Structure 1
Amino acid sequence: MPVIASALSSLTALSALALLSSLAPGVASAQGAASLPITAQQKATAQQVSQAGVPLSELSPNAPDSHTVKRGDTLWDISGLFLKSAWRWPELWGMNLQQIRNPHLIFPGQVLYLDKSNGRARLRVGQPVGGDARLSPRVREGSLDDAISTVPVHLLEPFFNEAVIFQSSDELLKAPRLVATQEGRVLLSRGETAYVRGELGGRREWRLFREPKPLRDPGTREVLGYEAQYVGTLALTREGAEGTGADGKPLVIPSTFTVSTIRQEAAVGDRLAPVPPREFDNMVPHAPPQDVAGQIVSIYGEALSAGQNQIVTLNRGSRDGLDRGAVLALWRDGSTVRDMTVADKPLIKLPDERHGLLFVFRVFDRMSYALILNVKEPVKSGDRFTQP
């Protein structure tokens, strides 16, 4: 506690709240404070607070003194091994805000040591040197393919491989379109040729989609984005051009594509979306940097309800302070019932109950996608979430 007390003494109360809520989630609330000016000295002091570790009371009752990272471990697994609240990993690891956004990687074979001192705990990596463990708050650089993932990658792969998402109707209208097929075929299969018109922007790998549907905020009915039906993937083989026909009039030559993979047969009229970058890396589980509350928009894959390890769409995005790695709590609204123990049988409202956790892994301006980490009851559109 002396470290925190000393650090906070140099901050104004409101600035400390704003900074600490982003660097040490759960320590303070940033409501109304995030817009205040923050000096470099204040920011440095708040980062010092964030690197002080967690109180010993926040450790899991069975937290080990050390853990050797194994292939198949995830960051979420390891965080839960040491902490009661796995989203407090940045504090346990002693990360400042920049390190949360660009963390070092953790690899199988490394040994994590729990360092306890002055009533607080931090996790460090031990590098064996001459039989002794040299402790370091950092981890070695290495190949992303070898590093452990934050959550099981196979749970997110279907989304990253097939999701077709647009943030606006303008973006959707500009999507290139499949205008013709080789020899006038009605349907296309893998390996066949397709002809496309539209602006490609130098990209070569594309997803084919159809039937985009709007994603609406359950409360305001605002269109937050569009989610389309995945058809398959195409690869550009020859870019289109503009020429002149035999009659001297302008002539458009469409781009040539080859069908790479196919989920369902492609047809003229289907449209294209660029394959987005895969973003499995650099996601640190943490509480949102500010208070957030929202609702489930939809279940990915058009299911009516979802359970553990399924993906949901949220009506909050980067404009609301969400970022990749944010952990959120799911809530079940308490029902209204009659108290049958008294004569007049009044209506009473049961308290809302927290019944699950979400992990945000893809963020847009007005919406996000999250993985259900655990849940007690089926999740459906309209269900509420808040900071954990």
Structure 2
Amino acid sequence: MLKKTLAWALGALLLSTVVSAQDPRIRADHPTTYTVQPGDTLWDISGRFLTEPWYWPEIWHENPDIENPHLIYPGDVVRLTLVNGEPQLSVERGGGTIKLSPEVRVEQLDDAIPGIPMEAIRPFLSGDRVVEAGTLSDAPYVVAGGDERVMSATGDPIYVRGLDGSDANSWDVVRKEQTFRDPASGEVLGVLAQYAGSARVREHGDPATLVLTDSTREILAGDRLLEASDEPFDSQLVPAAPSQDVDGVIMAVMDGVNQIGQYDVVALNLGRREGMKTGHVLTVLEKPRSVEDPYSKDDEVVTLPAEREGVLIVFQVFERMSLGLVMEANRAMAVGDTVRTPER
């Protein structure tokens, strides 16, 4: 028995050495196995095995006989093995082995680990939303509050114009917060509609009578209404590099800070039309910087090489822009910094 144990340990050590030496995607100090802990994310686990998290789909082994095999739970054991000369990640659960697949699950189980820290992006999943230019100006609006109140809150009635022809009963009350423009062209890429509350229709008409069922701030005349969205968010984001070269810019940081760090949410001037998808990982580089060379004959202006500042993952994609979460920050970032497809 002791000989078998020693042989297995020696084999695991040799496998670790061979995999690390032959495949640049694998960390030199990777473990052979890792037991998933509560609070882990897919990004955390990938960082234990891989040099870059977007290599994860390449190391997964697709097994069509297993339903939704990419879901990972606390207590699962993730194991790195070598199959036909290629590194492969698999997960052991309840004594069995399930091959990991890059297939994305539409439904999610509450106890499966998420792809990224959900607390950092939750405000952008359940309230605030980005809409197309012109959406808010054409949306229904609050014309007055009940009992001649200037400000309304949960439980109060509000009177709304512009609901004619809509059968929807549940609405979000929003307020225009920020307009996103492309830094180069000036094109309006989207508008941030800040969530202020929710309301249900009590009586249709012009104006219609609605009752506020929730409010996070005072509801004012002029606030706009958007039909409530119950579109689920799949927390099982799988990090992957875009298949095409993309080059964009950080337009804004969503919490209003001047310097951008880990777990800050940023707005990018890249959307569906540029081929962006949820889960895409981008490298953040400092904005181009030029200096005058006083030692050259003609005082040439030289553009310095851009330094890598960190990595972000895209979690929401719109037609002309997207939102990303900064996962790694090597140094402070700023609005205007460049985002690109990671180099391999």
| TM more than 0.5 | yes
Question: Offset at 1:228?
Answer: 3.1
Percent identical residues: 36
AA paired with 1:166?
Answer: V
Choose the corresponding residue for 2:191, options 226, 236, 253: 226
* Aligned match of 1:66: 33
* Aligned match of 1:123: 89
Contact 1:194 1:259 survives alignment (8 Å): no
Q: Distance in 1 between matches of 2:321 and 2:47?
A: 27
* Aligned match of 1:34: none
SS state of the match for residue 172, structure 1? coil
Contact 1:361 1:371 survives alignment (8 Å): yes
Contact 1:197 1:255 survives alignment (8 Å): no
- Seen in structure 2, the aligned counterparts of structure 1 residues 154 and 134 have a Cα distance that, compared at 3 Å, is closer
Q: Distance in 1 between matches of 2:238 and 2:46?
A: 10
SS state of the match for residue 136, structure 2? helix
Contact 2:69 2:101 survives alignment (8 Å): no
- Seen in structure 2, the aligned counterparts of structure 1 residues 184 and 156 have a Cα distance that, compared at 3 Å, is same
Does 253-262 or 282-291 show the bigger shift? 253-262
TM-score (norm: length of structure 1):
0.73
* Aligned match of 2:210: 256
Does 59-68 or 73-82 show the bigger shift? 59-68
Q: Distance in 1 between matches of 2:194 and 2:136?
A: 13
Question: Offset at 1:138?
Answer: 5.2
Q: Distance in 2 between matches of 1:138 and 1:287?
A: 17
Contact 1:144 1:281 survives alignment (8 Å): no
SS state of the match for residue 55, structure 2? helix
- Seen in structure 2, the aligned counterparts of structure 1 residues 375 and 185 have a Cα distance that, compared at 3 Å, is same
Choose the corresponding residue for 1:177, options 135, 141, 159: 141
Does 357-366 or 107-116 show the bigger shift? 107-116
Q: Distance in 2 between matches of 1:211 and 1:105?
A: 38
AA paired with 2:329?
Answer: V
SS state of the match for residue 121, structure 2? helix
Answer yes or no: is 1:214 the counterpart of 2:209: no
Contact 2:41 2:115 survives alignment (8 Å): yes
- Seen in structure 2, the aligned counterparts of structure 1 residues 87 and 103 have a Cα distance that, compared at 3 Å, is farther
- Seen in structure 2, the aligned counterparts of structure 1 residues 239 and 149 have a Cα distance that, compared at 3 Å, is farther
Q: Deviations over 1:300-358 (max 9, x none)?
A: 13444422211111111111111001000011145333556789875443211111111
Q: Deviations over 1:202-249 (max 9, x none)?
A: 44443322235421101111111111344x2123042414xxxxxxxx
- Seen in structure 2, the aligned counterparts of structure 1 residues 164 and 357 have a Cα distance that, compared at 3 Å, is same
Contact 1:212 1:226 survives alignment (8 Å): yes
Aligned alpha-carbon RMSD (Å):
2.9
AA paired with 2:37?
Answer: K
* Aligned match of 2:262: 308
SS state of the match for residue 208, structure 1? strand
**Structure 2 runs not aligned, ≥5 long:** 1-21
- Seen in structure 2, the aligned counterparts of structure 1 residues 349 and 181 have a Cα distance that, compared at 3 Å, is closer
Q: Distance in 2 between matches of 1:61 and 1:329?
A: 22
* Aligned match of 1:85: 52
AA paired with 2:227?
Answer: P
AA paired with 1:108?
Answer: P
Does 117-126 or 197-206 show the bigger shift? 197-206
- Seen in structure 2, the aligned counterparts of structure 1 residues 309 and 202 have a Cα distance that, compared at 3 Å, is farther
Contact 1:316 1:366 survives alignment (8 Å): yes
Choose the corresponding residue for 1:271, options 224, 227, 239: 224
Number of residue pairs the alignment of both structures matches: 314
SS state of the match for residue 255, structure 1? strand
AA paired with 1:134?
Answer: T
- Seen in structure 2, the aligned counterparts of structure 1 residues 367 and 346 have a Cα distance that, compared at 3 Å, is closer
Contact 1:299 1:312 survives alignment (8 Å): yes
Choose the corresponding residue for 1:236, options 191, 200, 217: 200
Question: Offset at 1:180?
Answer: 2.3
Question: Offset at 1:145?
Answer: 1.1
Q: Distance in 1 between matches of 2:179 and 2:279?
A: 25
SS state of the match for residue 58, structure 1? coil
Contact 2:197 2:219 survives alignment (8 Å): no
Q: Distance in 1 between matches of 2:302 and 2:329?
A: 26
Q: Distance in 1 between matches of 2:260 and 2:170?
A: 31
Give the number of the structure whose residues are more often helix, by fraction: 1
* Aligned match of 2:42: 75
* Aligned match of 1:248: none
TM-score (norm: length of structure 2):
0.81
AA paired with 1:368?
Answer: S
Answer yes or no: is 1:332 the counterpart of 2:286: yes
Contact 2:202 2:209 survives alignment (8 Å): yes
* Aligned match of 2:315: 361
* Aligned match of 2:8: none
- Seen in structure 2, the aligned counterparts of structure 1 residues 225 and 344 have a Cα distance that, compared at 3 Å, is closer
AA paired with 2:173?
Answer: L
Q: Distance in 2 between matches of 1:316 and 1:143?
A: 27
Does 374-383 or 185-194 show the bigger shift? 374-383
SS state of the match for residue 267, structure 2? strand
Answer yes or no: is 1:56 the counterpart of 2:19: no
**Structure 1 runs not aligned, ≥5 long:** 1-54, 242-251
- Seen in structure 2, the aligned counterparts of structure 1 residues 152 and 347 have a Cα distance that, compared at 3 Å, is same
Q: Distance in 2 between matches of 1:191 and 1:103?
A: 45
Q: Distance in 2 between matches of 1:79 and 1:384?
A: 25
* Aligned match of 2:338: 384
Q: Distance in 1 between matches of 2:150 and 2:173?
A: 16
Q: Distance in 2 between matches of 1:217 and 1:342?
A: 35
Answer yes or no: is 1:134 the counterpart of 2:97: yes
